[in-house]
Structure 1
Amino acid sequence: MKKYQKLLLLVLTFCAALFLVSCGSSKKSESSSEGTKTVKVGIIGSDERVWDAIKPELKKKGIEVKLVQFTTYDQPNQALVSGDIDLNSYQHIFYLNNWNKAHHADLVPIGNTIIAPLAVYSKKIKSIDNLKSGDTISIPNDATNQARALQLLESAKVITLKSGVEIPTPNDVVKNPKKVKITPLDASQTARSLDDVTVAIINNGVALDAKLNPHTAIYTEKITKKSKPWINVLVAQKKDKNNKTYQEVVKAYQTEKVAQKLKEVYQGSSVPAWNYKF
């Protein structure tokens, strides 16, 4: 009987030891996972390749970036407001300001990323100066990009807009010497319209998705002091504006390594915006 009692005691002692080792291992694992901070970043399109150059640098600092892909422009801001993501990176300041007004939100920019100029493409002419009377031009129809497209046409001396209008529409064209016909379309359709129009003004993301070479554009939006509203930004909830972890994400983005990656991914159609002094 004593023999069995001793055997039972040994088994119980061994099991207790295993339990303590297991608990210690578990606590160590939890501590390790707690040491890494995860930041969910909402993006759209080919930005994923740019973030591939950022994630390893942040990982060295104990920050793991998880990218969340979205398909429409409204989704990343909705997800940020609801707390499903921590940051997003896809929109310019003008779009953000208008979105905040429309949705009674207070999302804030915490760092500049890129400027993505609009460009003019054509299968029919080699220069925007070759536009003739009655030629057709397709432009994006959303308020912000439509305004940009019209301002681009003004800078190219194709039209003149009413002065003092912040978000011009085709109704604000006061001079149209070549009598060009301006056709607003959904931004995603502008590249597809190239067979039907003389020229199309196309967002860089849409152009890249359509396999258009930015070097074949016949005119590109100029970067000037007026370009400030079109700077793309990293965006957070207002309460997180000074969050130290998120500021580390900004620092990791605004580097020469990322500038080179942007050049590679966007073929020069997007340029770093953190060094511009407006």
Structure 2
Amino acid sequence: MKKLNKIAKIFLVLCAAVSFFVVAGCGNNSSGKTVKVGIYGSDDRIWKPLANKLKKQGINLKLVEFNDYNTPNKALTQGELDINAFQNYHFMNDWNKVNKGNVVAIGDTYIAPQRIYSDKIKKLSQLKNGDKISIPSDATNEDRGLRVLRQAGLIKLNNSSMYTVKDITENKKNLKITPLDAAQTAHSLTDVAAAVVNNDVAQDAKLKPNDAIYKEKINKESKPYVNIIATTKDIKNNATYKKVVKAYQTEYIAKKIKQVYNGSTYAAWNYDFK
């Protein structure tokens, strides 16, 4: 009888142990899906809170930070990332064309106007003949930067679909417009009269949006400049990636975007492009 009681106790202990591991396993996110996300600069302050929320859904975001615009799509197409979030439609389409890529958008994030900054003047009318202006040098942002200068009334351009400095047809002040790596435009302010700076670069350089001497106007023609979450064509229907997009496109993240970028950047998935 004692032997039977002993066996019964051992059986109960084993059952309890099995139950513990089953419950522990069900409550542990370590078995969840991991998604590697390529991001740029200040966006970590948007994606880290999102990562915390997605943990509750069993999705573990691994953020991979880049400090240039050239690498994230290469990393994506080489399988080092699952998705990335640093580029706009215009940039993605141009990158695919040049690199014969298969990168596709799976969700809109935000739109950020380019701005013209200066350490030397307070308004555009103070630009002098022959002054230097720097703009981003990658094809998409050089095109956009020149459009901003045209919008500001500083230059005229021909009818090209993708502008470079060679497409300037009128430059009354003889401005010396120099393309630089996008990340260097903010640093160039010590050497130039003004610079067209991407919003994320301006944020990382601690430039204040209200100090800009010109802000790009956002309208229906701005849609190609909406930033996106992207992946490759063969995995665009991945259910986990769709959950990431859905979690991003919420009022919580819209408020986070406004907070992180000091009101200078707008959630794009519900923006009214007039």
Query: What TM-score comes out, normalization by structure 1 length?
Result: 0.86
Unaligned segments of structure 1, at least 5 residues: 1-5
2:184 corresponding residue in structure 1: 189
Select the structure of larger CA radius of gyration.
1
Cα distance, 1:231 vs structure 2: 0.8
Matched, 1:235 2:230: yes
1:40-51 to 2 correspondence within 5 Å?
A: 40-51=36-47
Matched, 1:95 2:91: yes
2:60 corresponding residue in structure 1: 64
1:273 corresponding residue in structure 2: 268
CA distance in 2, matches of 1:193, 1:74: 20
Determine helix, strand or coil for the equivalent of 1:168: coil
1:157 corresponding residue in structure 2: 153
* Structure 1 residues 29 and 239: alpha-carbon distance in aligned structure 2, compared to 1, 3 A threshold: farther
Query: What TM-score comes out, normalization by structure 2 length?
Result: 0.87
Unaligned segments of structure 2, at least 5 residues: none
2:254 corresponding residue in structure 1: 259
CA contact (8 A) 1:53 1:257 kept: no
CA distance in 2, matches of 1:72, 1:100: 17
Runs of 4+ in 1 over 3 A off after TM superposition: 16-35
CA distance in 2, matches of 1:28, 1:84: 33
Task: Name the Cα RMSD after superposition.
Answer: 2.7
Determine helix, strand or coil for the equivalent of 2:128: coil
Which of 195, 203, 211 is equivalent to 1:216? 211
Matched, 1:176 2:171: yes
* Structure 1 residues 21 and 85: alpha-carbon distance in aligned structure 2, compared to 1, 3 A threshold: farther
Which of 98, 121, 126 is equivalent to 2:122? 126
CA contact (8 A) 2:42 2:203 kept: no
1:38 corresponding residue in structure 2: 34
Cα distance, 1:20 vs structure 2: 7.6
Cα distance, 1:205 vs structure 2: 1.9
Matched, 1:84 2:84: no
Cα distance, 1:27 vs structure 2: 5.8
Cα distance, 1:123 vs structure 2: 1.6
The superposition leaves residues 137-186 of structure 1 with CA deviations (integer Å, 9 ceiling, x where unpaired) of 111111111111110010011100002x1211111111112221212222
1:3 corresponding residue in structure 2: none
CA contact (8 A) 1:122 1:218 kept: yes
